[in-house]
A and B are shown apart, each in its own frame.
Chain A
Amino acid sequence: MSSVEPILSQYFHNKGCRLGLPVAGNFELTPRCNFNCKMCYVHLSKEEADRRGRELTADEWLGFAEAARSKGLLFLLLTGGEPLIRPDFKYIYTELRKMGIMVSINTNASMIDDDYFEFFKKDPPMRFNISLYGTSDDTYESLCGNRSFEKVLNNIKRLKGAGMAVKLNVLFGPSNVDDMDGIRRISEETGIPIKPTTYLYPPIRVSCDETGGNKARFSAKEAAYYDFVCDKERFEHEMFVKRTAALCRGIKSEVSDEECDGVPSEGIACRAGRSSFWMTWDGKMMPCGMMVEPVTYPLRDGFDAAWKELRAKTEEILMPAECKNCSVRHACHVCAASTYAETGRFDGKPQYICDMVHERVRYYKDEYKRLEESGDLERYASEVKPNEN
């Protein structure tokens, strides 16, 4: 008997992809949120949500969970909107845990009152993924329309202090870039890992008019610069030197996004629609929450049929042909969701991402020269060799 969850997680995902099992799922419990963030890809006004459909009931969610569980569901992310806004959240969570499902929660952490805190202490989730938007109430107000920073920070510290697993998801854009140092300090002081992102998807789920743009994001060049800065700050120097060497020698970085593991290729390369699925608040199934298609309908067709159809439709997705032979392919995290969000097609060349990646590589190449001159490249990365193929 062993206790090596990350290895097991990877093992089950690989097995899921091979056998077509829904090992991981995402339940978007609601589009409602107590924040109103500029960059959000889900949040709808009550009127618009009512126009589009209805939220699934707790028992509908649990029915789908049971159906997915019987096919192999082990890891489930509860997300929103803000999932804790649902009055029946505790019931849903408790029943999912009784099924033996490893549950993670995406939250803005502003609604974790004493009652929620005591509830989670008794049966902690696998992880809280907390969106941290800045380091002051002013940034929160400008980005989220809500002065909740102090409350959020207290809750982050409280959860961590109680021994619960927490990760900070940070989306950087012009509105909060000045808070970058402060966020790094919070990560260092609390010992909580941070997942920074400077690439913001166009919010096409809110409106297809948003294809190719996001009013809250950087220019491609700025996004590349701050992405480089985030990498330099969040990794220990030796690791950063190794990553720089790898990237400049044509090797894909070994540190990747666990939810989006894969490389650009002709077909979809991540786990979406292969070993994981996303269910929207109104009961549609998609490979990933950033997509608007392919869509299947578990409410109408049942979970099994919807999952089978989703896998088949996902297999048909073709990525841009240009990406296959791109010189910086190893440094690029383009995916089916981002090509569609940027161009309205899965096989469209996403110029914003191309510009961002080429610029990012340029920063790394400049850094490579500096590290070569200082001797750190020889000291820490002499064994980082290019791939033969």
Chain B
Amino acid sequence: MTIITRRKLITSAAIGAGGLLSGCDALNRSSTFQDVLASAETANFAVQRALGDRMALASEYTLADRSPNFRANGTRDPGTADYASSAAQGFADWQLRLTGLFKKPQQFSMAALLSMPQRTQITRHDCVEGWSAIGQWTGVPLKILLDLAQLQGSAQFLVFHCADRLGGRPYYESIDLLDGFHPQTILAHRLNGESLPIENGAPLRLRVERQLGYKHAKYVTGIEAVASLAGIGEGKGGYWQDVANYEWYAGI
């Protein structure tokens, strides 16, 4: 009697497990259910912004804490003729264009950026995949550029346009103004005391230290101030958000 019950239980558990899996896949394909799941992003964003000082700094480390090798991920070389010729002259001709909702849209040469006040920080880069690497970054605080170009009142987001393409699409990312003005948000051009390697995003990459690695756009060519992300790419605020279900807010 008990044996049969147990066998039945085990069989139904096995059937249940199979059903659970295919059920989960069916739910995963439902756009309504995906919207329900994605509501966690809203909660993560609201709660993580509320739990600490909105300008709280990410941990900074000492030189001895650095990773022996700083892993590169995503595009390792944009591979275009324009990029190669710019790289050949040490990116002397690289221009960073500030466009969109600025009172004084303008562009900066690398020489102009290098003559500005710099910030150096040793921080931990956390990839969405799970690995981390600690490196020393030097760059121009984004706040300096935003103060020079002066945002219009309607600006809500900063979109970072990049020189690299993944799967045929241009890479881009976006952050809100709170992260834009954060003291650790810099456009880095040096890694561990040397010119930024091509595989890590030369000549300019964004550091937005309180978010995961895919937010840290590499090969940055322009910053566009916008009121809404709707008109950019497929409107989700970034390359990975458009091509897969990655969240725009990557604080966790």
User: Do A and B share a complex?
Assistant: no
Interface residues of B (CB under 8 A from A): none
Interface residues of A (CB under 8 A from B): none
